[in-house]
Amino acid sequence: MGMTYIPSTLSEALHLRAETGARPLAGGTDMMVQSKRGIGLAPEFPYPVMIISGLEELRGITKHEDGSVEIGALASPAEIAASDIVPWHVRMAAAGMGAVALRNSATIGGNIGNASPKGDLPQPLILLDADVILVSLRGETKMKLDDFILGSKKTALKDDEIIRSVIIPPHEFTYSFYRKIGMRRANAISKLSLSAAAVVRDGEILDFRAASGASGPKVIRSYSAEAIIRGRRVEDIPEVLDGFLEAWNAAISPHAMPQYRRNTTRRMLSHFLSSIHDGAEAGIIS
């Protein structure tokens, strides 16, 4: 069992991280549950831990001049869902996490750092090509979230680094889609989720992308599958739809309930693209 520290500043936290390897614990909604030991007993971790929930430097949601939005690692799903500068897909995912109390406690940094395949926030963030900012005594690094999350519960976080924030580049989609399927209508862990987005101008699909959550060891984006749609004309969708769906199906690797997850993903993607083909009004495809 490791030591537990409560740093007061980010600088203290970075020193602790560098010197002891202490892992950050913020809202506790994942770590406290995974290491719980029962009534009246404190969780135990086989490594040192630092409770970073008090670090002001990791808070806040800001919009930069280039239109990108930076979300501090300690931002809660409640704050994210309520922020009108956060992109729609991310707000939807944040609003659909757990229930009120969890949304007040969990953090975006924790949701990313825990890298659970069922985590709600990585999926739309990866759709939006978000970067994660990692900070250490050595300085700051920026990397694509899709590269940062390596697999189930695995990230590229180095032993001396802390997740500082997430930066979402600006986008203007013509069409957007988001669905989370939980085990019930509220307060549920994700069984499957999907985001999709497209930019259509003058009948040409300039951008198309999708991200599948809870469908494999990490969030799945298939850039090669997306390329089947990207650059096509809307009226060509029926022609390429099956090929795209096959390519997407080949990219995902659901472990449990494979038939359900594959078929539902297929239906959702098909619905999104068919709606575009059928001339749906710009905006959210429901």
Partner 1 sequence: MVSRIEFSVNGRKTVFSGNPLTRLIDVLREDLSLTGVKEGCGEGECGACSVIKDGRLVTSCIIPVGAVNGSEILTIEGIRDTDKGRCLVDAFAEGGAVQCGFCIPGMVMAAYALLSSNPNPSEEDIRRGISGNICRCTGYDLIVESIKLAVRKGGDLWA
Partner 2 sequence: MPLTGIDDRVVRVDAAAKARGEARYVCDYTFPDMLYAYMVRSSIPRGTIDSISIPKLPDGYYFISAADIPPEGKNELWMIQKDWRCFAEGDVRYVGETIGLLVGPDRNILKYLLDHVDIKYTEGIPAVSIDDGIACKGGAIVGEDNVLCQLYVEKGKPMSEVFAEADSIYEETLETGFQEHVHLETNAAIVTEEDGKYAIYASAQCPFYIRKSVAGLLGIPQEDIIIRQTTTGGAFGGKEHFPDVLCGPLLVAEHRIHKPIKLVFDREEDMLYSVKRHPSKVTYRTALDKDGNILGIEGLVYYNCGAYLSASYVVLQRGVFHANGVYDFPNTYVKGIGIATNTFPSDAFRGFGAPQTLFAIETHLDHIARKFGFDPAEYKARYFIKQGGETITNGHIVERVMLPEMMKQVVDASGYEEKIRKYPIGSGRGIGISFYNHGGAFTGNGEQAIIKAHARLVKTGGRVRIEVGSTEMGQGFQTALRKIAAVVLGIPIEDVDYDNPDTSLVCDSGPTAASRSTMIVGKIVERCAAEMKERWAEGDFSVEKEYEHPEGHPWDQSTFRGDAYLGYGWGCAAVEVEADKLTNEIHVTGIWSSHDIGHAIDELIVHGQVNGGIAQSIGYASMEKMENRNGYFRQSSMSDYVVPTSMEFPKQEWFLVENPYEWGPFGAKGMGELVFNGADAAYIDAVERALGITVHRIPMPPEDIEEALGNGQ
- Nearer CB in complex with partner 2: 37/201: 37
Within 10 A of 82 (CB to CB), how many other CB atoms are there?
14
Residues linked to residue 4 through DSSP beta bridges, in sequence order: 49
For partner 2, which is the closer residue by CB, 10 or 188? 188
Q: Which does 257 bind (CB under 5 to 8 A by kind): partner 1, partner 2, none?
A: partner 2
Task: Mark 30-69 with x for binding to partner 2 (rule: CB under 8 A) and - for no binding.
Answer: -------xxxxx----------------------------
DSSP label at residue 280: P
* 248 vs 197: CA distance, rounded Å: 15
> Per CB under 8 A, does 78 bind partner 1?
yes
User: By C-beta, is 136 or 270 nearer to partner 2?
Assistant: 270
| Residue 257 interacting with partner 2 (CB under 8 A) | yes
CA–CA gap between residue 123 and residue 213 (Å, rounded): 5
- For 60-75, the DSSP string reads -EEE-TTS-EEEETT-
Q: Which of 10, 18, 20, 43 binds partner 1 (CB under 8 A)?
A: 43
Max Cα-Cα span within the chain: 63
- Residue linked to tokens 């990692």: 134
Site string for partner 1, 244-273 (x = CB under 8 A): ------------------------------
Enumerate the β-bridge partners of residue 208. 198
Take residue 5 and report the two structure tokens written for it. Answer: 């520290």
The region, left, alpha or beta by phi > 0 then psi within -120 to 50, assigned to residue 189 is: beta
Residue of 22, 29, 116, 131 interacting with partner 1 (CB under 8 A):
29
CB of 33 to partner 1, least distance (A): 4
Give the span between the Cα atoms of 266 and 29, in whole angstroms: 32
Least distance CB 178 / partner 1 (angstroms)? 18
Of the ranges 61-69, 73-81, 220-228, 257-265, which one interacts with partner 2 (CB under 8 A)? 257-265
Contact residues: partner 2, CB under 8 A = 37-41, 99, 179, 181, 183-189, 191-192, 257, 259-260, 263-264, 267-268, 271
